[in-house]
Structure 1
Amino acid sequence: MLEQVFKKCLVSNSNTLTQLMRILVHFIACFQSRKKITALIYHRVSLEPAKFDDFSLPVEIFDWQMRLVSKLFNVITMDQALDFLEGGAIPSRSVVITFDDGYMDNYTVALPVLKKYGLCATIYVAGDAIISGKIWNEEVTHAVSNTAKLALHLPKIGIETLLVDSLTQKVEAIATLKALFKKQNTDVRDSFLHELVLESGSPVSERYMMTEGQLQEIAAEPLISIGCHSMSHPMLSYVSKDVARVDIQNSLDYLQELIEQPVVHFAYPYGKYGEDFHAEHVNCVADLPIKTAVTTEWGTIRANSSFYLLKRFTPWNLNILHFFIQLCKNYYR
């Protein structure tokens, strides 16, 4: 009931009601929103609810979230966030919208919603994913969710048997395989994926990621900026500093040549500092012509934040009222 009342308030065209709700934001956030920025992380925005994909948000929910953000918060670009870090002022209730990886539905589904509300966003793109049309985690999900087998036998990757006879077992198997695969270097990860696809009998036949043409089109949108998310999406903790540097540099070169624009913003693959990447990788990024780098650590961007360790917030909650409260509370972090 309360959620429905909240939705009706958002739909209302009353400027007075909108202003009252903005005051409510200030009250909940205890005026912390005047000196901090919340950066939202998204991956996929789907037309239908996904059974196996934790990173996919149904478009109806995304639409409501963007409506809320457009009415009650001030969406700024990552370049404006950089200006703030360099000593500039920001509006209160500032929000940055970001997407990771470069999924096709960012172009086909999310972009129309962003344009509907006049909202800007940064999309961090993994170069190899654009070239191949695939990204390894989606291949894992596809292989397990579509297999006709009751169990998968994968001794070459160190797993004798994975039961996949039910939805629950498939979800657990996908989580197990993703946890294993992401901690391998790119060559080993690709060999593991090859074994999985052979055993499952379910190779990916569709394209999950934007085409180069779609990326060029979305990069030309005034509301969209493109950032780098590495070339091969490795967990940097499992590659050397030199390998990381080459991978990121190759991605920068590829993206800048493709979209004919400077690419100065970066998102660490997986994104947990001290686990997925370390200080040596931060230094590597800082040595390149990159001006900001974002993590997946929850928190806010504030005036004293490191340019290369910017925190973000993942809006998992599908209840719009809970999302609103979480968004307000994030300014405490």
Structure 2
Amino acid sequence: MKTAGVFGRSGRSRWRKDRLLILGYHGIAQYDEQQWDPALFISAELFESRLRFLKAKGFNILPLDAALRHLRAGTLPERSVSLTFDDGYVDFYRIAYPILKIHKVSATVYLTTYYSEKNLPIPGITAAYMVWMSPHFVGPLKTLPAFGSIDLRHATARRQVSRLMGQSFTDERTMAPPRKHELLEALADELGFDLSEVRARRLMHLMSVDEVGDIARDGIDIQLHSHRHWVPEDEHLVRREILENRERIEAITQRPAVHFCYPSGVHYPELLDWLRRLNVESATTCESGLAAPTDDPLMLPRFLDHSRVSQTEFEAWATGALRAFPHRSAYTPPPRGSKSQPAATP
């Protein structure tokens, strides 16, 4: 397909010129995290290779706010792309940000602020990572008896238990954070996992407030991702999540926080009106696609790049030849929960 010039023709097409490719990333692996969760982490080498391709082929990498204004006005330059990073992991500060500086490229970080203030590992992904890194464990889990007896010696079973463990910690919204961290400690003891090393390396940590300030002063755009990485189904709680998130981001950056990314890709029809009342100007999803001028600005598609995306597929999305590929996402949004479910904190 490439030798026939399909990618080149697609990249120069009117269809592609009228659209914005919003690339979505999560973590850049500090060690080997992409082996545990290739849909969440990408290696620094692979990420930089994507940037080299975009720069070499003349793509216009625009700041998100400017790109969205051009999209609405119908004035996008050819092959327009914007880069976004969800959550605000510390690896952005340590790895992605220096790479972006080398290539003179800007990006938007959708920051969830609760754990940015705490300097603690995020319970859900940390529990999942600990399970994956414990390939010799066999037996019952006293810490979490609902899991019964588990056997982590085989990669397939370990990956499944890892996913369920992370989901269990993340979905539990009635438990106070100190109790979650107590459970995390107990789970680490049972698995024989050194949690102190995770803290020392700051694996599964978000950027600190000072680190966010550093990159914001250097031009990285910091935007909304909810305070507790959560999309409630109650307008009052949604308002709390957005306003607490916005207050903290604007205090750090001294710039407006008006662009939002749905945590875990979760959205539902009522939410859009609630976001509009909160003066949210745009919201990106985890659904695959290029953003068009006719799209609802609160339902903008992205392409989530990750370790399992081949270079050919990446180039197809970038040029607009993506119609030859099935639309897919690295994420399947979790089902909607109960509107009456109380919320504590992460």
* Structure 2 segments unaligned to the other structure (5+ residues): 328-346
Q: Secondary structure at the match of 2:42?
A: strand
Describe the SS at the equivalent of 2:226: coil
Q: In the alignment, which residue of structure 2 is the partner of 1:195?
A: 183
Q: 1:61·1:320 contact (CA, 8 Å) conserved in 2? A: no
Q: Tell me the residue number matched to 1:135.
A: 122
Aligned length: 309
Return closer, same or farther for 1:210/1:196 CA change in 2, 3 Å cut-off. closer
Q: Is the 8 A contact 1:102 1:125 kept in 2?
A: yes
Judge which range, 139-148 or 279-288, deviates more: 139-148
State the SS of the aligned residue for 2:110: strand
Kept in 2: contact 1:104–1:209 (CA 8 A): yes
Residue 46 of structure 1 deviates from its aligned partner by 2.0
Tell me if structure 2 keeps the 8 A contact 1:152–1:200.
Answer: no
Change (3 A) 1:323 1:198: same
Q: Bigger CA drift: 293-302 or 143-152?
A: 143-152
Query: Structure 1 residues 84, 188: CA separation in 2 closer, same or farther (over 3 Å shift)?
Result: same
TM-score in terms of structure 2 length? 0.79
How far has the Cα of 1:294 moved from its partner? 0.8
C-alpha displacement of 1:48: 3.8
C-alpha contact 1:154 1:196 (8 A) present in aligned 2: no
Of 220, 223, 232 in structure 1, the residue corresponding to residue 217 of structure 2 is 220
2:43 paired residue number: 58
- Aligned pairs (5 A) from 1:295-314: 295-314=285-304
SS in 1 for 2:297: coil
Deviation at 1:136, TM superposition (A): 3.1
In the aligned structure 2, how far is the partner of 1:157 from the partner of 1:77? 48
What amino acid does structure 1 have at the position aligned with 2:32? P
1:323 paired with 2:314, answer yes
SS in 1 for 2:125: helix
Cα 1:31–1:331, aligned 2, differ >3 Å: closer, same or farther?
farther
**How far apart in 2 are the matches of 1:172 and 1:121?**
33
Cα 1:116–1:150, aligned 2, differ >3 Å: closer, same or farther?
Answer: same
Q: What is the rounded CA distance, in whole Å, between the counterparts of 1:159 and 1:193 in structure 2?
A: 18
Asked if the contact 1:230/1:251 (under 8 Å) is kept, the reply is yes
- In structure 2, C-alpha distance between the alignment counterparts of 1:52 and 1:146, rounded to whole Å: 8
Paired residues of 2:89 and 2:207 also in contact (CA < 8 A): yes
Q: In structure 2, do the counterparts of structure 1 residues 185 and 25 end up closer, same or farther at CA, with 3 Å as the change threshold?
A: farther
Match of 2:341 in 1: none
1:35 alignment partner in structure 2: 18
CA contact (8 A) 2:286 2:303 kept: yes
For residues 136 and 267 of structure 1, do their structure 2 counterparts lie closer, same or farther at Cα, with a shift above 3 Å needed? farther
Rounded to whole Å, the distance in 1 between the matches of 2:102 and 2:221 is 17
Deviations 1:122-163 (A, max 9, x none): 000010121123323332233323457424526857332332
- What does 1:213-292 correspond to in 2, within 5 Å? 213-222=210-219, 224-234=220-230, 236=231, 239-271=233-265, 276-292=266-282
Offset of residue 119 of structure 1: 1.2
Q: Secondary structure at the residue paired with 1:41?
A: strand
Specify whether residues 160 and 58 from structure 1 end up closer, same or farther in structure 2 by C-alpha distance, changes over 3 A only. Answer: same
